[in-house]
Amino acid sequence: VHSRGKSLAKDVDFEKVARRTPGFTGADLQNLMNEAAILAARRDLKEISKDEISDALERIIAGPEKKNAVVSEEKKKLVAYHEAGHALVGALMPEYDPVAKISIIPRGQAGGLTFFAPSEERLESGLYSRSYLENQMAVALGGRVAEEVIFGQDNVTTGASNDFMQVSRVARQMVERFGFSKKIGQVAIGGGGGNPFLGQQMSSQKDYSMATADVVDSEVRELVDKAYTRATQIITTHIDILHKLAQLLIEKETVDGEEFMSLFIDGKAELFVA
């Protein structure tokens, strides 16, 4: 509907576009196609190809590309291994979202990005299993683990700060809200009261004792440690694939899902088994 009246190249596959845009409204899709048309015009193209649609999607999600950013070879290598770590762990976690694209082109505040194609059914229902959330934490830690394995503990960077925030948030919600902790049980704790007009951190109040807080912290730490161990096991077991993917990213800067999966077929990678 939203591509009507626009000239499209033969390589445009709307099924693949749909997999990368779950939850998009009609207005979002119209904006996507308009951005793709603008990019095609800037590139003096007569048709919109899959590359323009992909670049438009990344621009909408992550911000404009930093064309004039000066990136040293050392930083480029580090970002490549970081993103390869995310992708590698995500691809080998059972029942996790497939990798759609990996990029080390700086956008917004990010030095690189790994795009997954989440299930539209899962997004619409809002229901996430415990195993999915545990996988999500391991994937988020994959970047830092790759940095540690390749560059050593002393040479890791602050690039994983957002990943740590995501992992901490998910682990705490699993314990406090979702009933995924045997020690806390099937109850929701924390976050009660507060002024709704204040920021979330300011308004949240703990409605449990210090003893319970110690248990919560212990359970959160256990979940994070488990995710870190799983990510480490995957990356060390498939270190050859990590090297190949990182080298491919350094050479090409972007790798799509199909090319990424071919590495796993060639490397005979196996899904992680807990």
CATH number at residue 104: 1.20.58.760
Residues 120 and 57 occupy one common structural domain: no
Residue-level pLDDT at 205: 55
Residue-level pLDDT at 197: 46
Q: How many CA atoms lie within 13 A of 101 on its CB side?
A: 21
In a domain, 1, yes or no: no
Contacts of 229 (CB under 8 A, 6+ apart): none
In a domain, 32, yes or no: yes
Other CB atoms closer than 10 Å to residue 154's CB: what's the count? 6
Residue-level pLDDT at 273: 67
Residues 80 and 159 occupy one common structural domain: yes
Query: Which of the residues in the chain have pLDDT under 70?
Result: 66-70, 108-109, 191-207, 267, 269, 272-274
In a domain, 272, yes or no: no
Cα(124)–Cα(100) distance, rounded to whole angstroms?
20
Residues 90 and 26 occupy one common structural domain: no
Residues 178 and 53 occupy one common structural domain: no
Residues 26 and 111 occupy one common structural domain: no
Contacts of 53 (CB under 8 A, 6+ apart): 12, 17, 32, 33, 36
CATH number at residue 38: 1.10.8.60
Residues 44 and 111 occupy one common structural domain: no
In a domain, 53, yes or no: yes
Burial class for 33, CB neighbours closer than 10 Å (0-12, 13-18, 19+)? buried
In a domain, 67, yes or no: no
Digit-coded pLDDT (tens) for 230-254: 999 999 999 999 999 999 999 998 8
In a domain, 119, yes or no: yes
Residue 145, φ and ψ in degrees, nearest 5 = -60, -45
Residues 135 and 258 occupy one common structural domain: yes
Residues 35 and 108 occupy one common structural domain: no
For the chain, the three-class secondary structure string (H helix, E strand, C coil) is CCCCCCCECCCCCHHHHHHHCCCCCHHHHHHHHHHHHHHHHHCCCCCECHHHHHHHHHHHHHCCECCCCCCCHHHHHHHHHHHHHHHHHHHHCCCCCCEEEEECCCECCECCEEEECCCHHHHHHCCCCHHHHHHHHHHHHHHHHHHHHHHCHHHCCHHHHHHHHHHHHHHHHHHHCCCCCCCCCCCCCCCCCCCCCCCHHHHCCCCCCHHHHHHHHHHHHHHHHHHHHHHHHHHHHCHHHHHHHHHHHHHHCEEEHHHHHHHHHHHCCCCCCC
Residues 123 and 159 occupy one common structural domain: yes
Tokens coding 13: 């596959």
Q: How many domains does the chain have?
A: 2
Residues 51 and 104 occupy one common structural domain: no
Which residue of the set 83, 134, 147, 148 is catalytic?
83
Residue 187, φ and ψ in degrees, nearest 5 = -135, 155
Residue-level pLDDT at 198: 45
Residues 212 and 260 occupy one common structural domain: yes
Residues 186 and 260 occupy one common structural domain: yes
User: Can you give the residue range of the structural domain that contains 129?
Assistant: 73-267
In a domain, 233, yes or no: yes
Kindly report the pTM of this predicted structure.
Answer: 0.80
Give catalytic status of residue 270 as yes or no.
no
In a domain, 85, yes or no: yes
Digit-coded pLDDT (tens) for 187-204: 888 765 444 444 544 445
